[in-house]
Each structure stands twice: as C-alpha cells, then as structure tokens.
Amino acid sequence: MNPSLIRLTERVWVYPYEQERDRPNLGYVRGDRLSLAVDAGHSDAHIAEYHAALKAEGLPLPDITVLTHWHWDHTFAMHRVHGLTLANGRTDRHLRAFRKKLACEGVEAFLSMHETIRREYAGNRPVVVTPADIVFSGGIDIDLGGCPVRAFEVESPHTDDGTFVQVPGEGVLFIGDANSGAFPTWQRDATKAKKLADTIRTLDARIVVEGHWTPTTTEDVVNDLLEG
C-alpha cells in the first residue's frame, strides 16, 4: 500500500520519502487561492502516487511546483506535474544539459548510474527530462493566498544549484538534499557545510524538511552540518 500524506502544520504536508527507489519527500503547501508542491518526483509513477495521496485528502493538485535542485529523483516527473514548474537558472541549465546527454547516450547510461534508478524505472518506464516553465534568479516571493512562500538560491555542498523553499507563516523550510555531500561519493565540503549551517540558522524554521529523511528541526540539521 502506498503511504499517506503527513500533515506538518495547518498548511503544509509531506508525501514521505522512500529509500528503495530513492524517492525524496514531496512537499505540499496550501494557500487560500493556490497550492504549491516542493519537487516533482522521480518518475511518472512517483508523481501519480503523490497526486492520488492529495486526492485522498481532498486537496487540490498543485498550481506551482518548485524544484530544490536538478537531480533526477526530484525532477524527472516534471512532464506529469499539474500546473507550472519553477526553478533557478542553474537547475534549468542542468536539466537541459541532461536532456541532451540522454538523447546522445541513451537511457541505459542513466539507468546504470544507480540501482535505485533501475528500480524506479523497472518495466521500461519512460525517462523524460523537462526544463522548467518559469526560471528565477536569486529569489522569488509567491503569494498563495494568506500564505507567503519564498524560494531562493543557496550555496550548498550537494550541488551548485540549490533552492530553499520557505513557508515563514508555518515555520517550515524545505532544503532538498542541500545538506548532503555530492553524488556519488557523498563527500561534503566543510566550508560549504558551515556556510549552509549559518544560512539555515538565520531562517529560524521550526520544521526543516530534507529530501530523504523524516522532517526534523533546525538544531538537528545545523549540528549535523557542523560535525563535518
């Protein structure tokens, strides 16, 4: 049976991560007028489950999907999102470059990158890479109706294209995989980790949602980043 949405606050939910197929948490923020997703998901199958979970809760499908970074497990379901996708310029460029690479090298090169990708795409599921509909630089404020959301670029040890999604009224911060090391070695640059810890601390969120872990606290994430 597929998991249900987890409600974090009045306006924020999470569709939980899964290790087997490297599926990240998918966020959901409901405003009075619009709703927003954080990350699109790993494949058409993943986003179909997310949409089914939203329908089961009686929640409208997202109008906007913000991407935390370009990695396949967060973005390759973009061809099936409801509404528009939003990414920073680097994320969009990475997606365009990977789409070109797929066209040149074929799907097998992608599937063989990791066993979790092969599991996600078992049964010849289509691999489709889609650039973003809206590209921002620096930061962008989105008013969902009684619920402001801010998406902004951050420097991170994971990739060079990190975006945070902050829901200040709810005390929630989505950080994607920003606090992890780089794929595939997971080595974490200590200087970048320290800088990221400082950034996260100043945002003062009650709940921090990482890509592949249970929602936690600012203190937890900051301590882990400073441990090296």
Q: Is residue 22 part of the contact set for Zn ion (CB under 5 A)?
A: no
Give the nearest distance from C-beta 179 to Zn ion in angstroms. Answer: 11
Q: Which is nearer to Zn ion, 50 or 72 (CB)?
A: 72
Q: Which is nearer to Zn ion, 170 or 177 (CB)?
A: 177
In angstroms, rounded to a whole number, what is the distance separating the alpha carbons of residues 120 and 38? 20
In angstroms, rounded to a whole number, what is the distance separating the alpha carbons of residues 24 and 73? 7
Give the nearest distance from C-beta 175 to Zn ion in angstroms. Answer: 11
Q: Which stretch binds Zn ion (CB under 5 A): 32-40, 67-75, 135-143, 161-169?
A: 67-75
Q: Which stretch binds Zn ion (CB under 5 A): 66-74, 117-125, 144-152, 202-210?
A: 66-74
Q: Is residue 71 part of the contact set for Zn ion (CB under 5 A)?
A: yes
Q: Tell me the DSSP string of 99-116.
A: HHHHHHH-HHHHHTT-HH
Q: Which is nearer to Zn ion, 166 or 180 (CB)?
A: 180
In angstroms, rounded to a whole number, what is the distance separating the alpha carbons of residues 62 and 29? 8
> Residue 159 in 3-state DSSP?
coil
Angle of helix 190-203 relative to helix 218-227, nearest 10 degrees?
160
Q: Which is nearer to Zn ion, 28 or 72 (CB)?
A: 72
* Residue of 40, 38, 46 whose CA lies nearest to 20: 46
Among 39, 161, 177, 210, binds Zn ion (CB under 5 A): 177
Give the nearest distance from C-beta 70 to Zn ion in angstroms. Answer: 8
* Residue of 209, 158, 199 whose CA lies nearest to 29: 209
Q: Which residues bind Zn ion (CB under 5 A)?
A: 71, 177
